Chains A and B, each alone.
Chain A
Amino acid sequence: AQRVTQPEKLLSVFKGAPVELKCNYSYSGSPELFWYVQYSRQRLQLLLRHISRESIKGFTADLNKGETSFHLKKPFAQEEDSAMYYCALSARFGNEKLTFGTGTRLTIIP
């Protein structure tokens, strides 16, 4: 079974401070991990995926297979980072349904 855990429902960080959103997963096969973001009144959009190894809007995430984690990090938070963040997992091969975590609402304090 696939499972994604985001332990923090709410996270508040001061502008300019580092951000870390935690994500742990459970999957027996070879997973693909994603971070999706939902800004206020907007649709879910992909922030990054582990296979592309890109840094988007200053965010990075490293897949740690030993700890089964895919934490999202940014060294200096900006006010526009306030949003809902969802970690998601899919099978590497298959029809790629996404299994989501419960999400973390990030608020950046000016």
Chain B
Amino acid sequence: EPEVTQTPSHQVTQMGQEVILRCVPISNHLYFYWYRQILGQKVEFLVSFYNNEISEKSEIFDDQFSVERPDGSNFTLKIRSTKLEDSAMYFCASRGTGWETQYFGPGTRLLVL
């Protein structure tokens, strides 16, 4: 069964550094999402992406964040200048069309020191 994959599984970075989290959605899916979960808190929506543009973003998704689908298979989340409070588990999800549900990747655990 096809799965969403994410790399790396863990990343440690220094505050102020840029990080890029990578996701490979399921190949025929058209809608892509990023969520994050700070330790002990709920899973929160960050951004959705369709037809090569952002369709919706949350208040969390400020100018420090950006998303890209550079090559038709990868879907990346970039944080330009990480802050301590960006430490979280970041989940990518994708879905097909119609009534299909979202399929989640295993997550990337980001730790900002």
Residues in chain A within 8 A of chain B (CB atoms):
34, 36, 42-46, 49, 51, 86, 88, 95-103
Residue of A at shortest CB range from B49? A95
Chain A contact surface mostly? loop
Residues in chain B within 8 A of chain A (CB atoms):
4, 31, 33, 35, 41-45, 48, 50, 55-56, 91, 93, 95, 99, 101-107
Residue of B at shortest CB range from A45? B104
Residue of B at shortest CB range from A100? B43
Question: What are the residues of chain B within 8 A of A102 when measuring CB–CB?
Answer: 41-42
Question: What are the residues of chain A within 8 A of B95 when measuring CB–CB?
Answer: 96
Closest chain-B Cβ to A83's Cβ sits at a distance in Å of 14
Residue of A at shortest CB range from B100? A96
Q: Is the CB of B45 within 8 A of A99?
A: yes
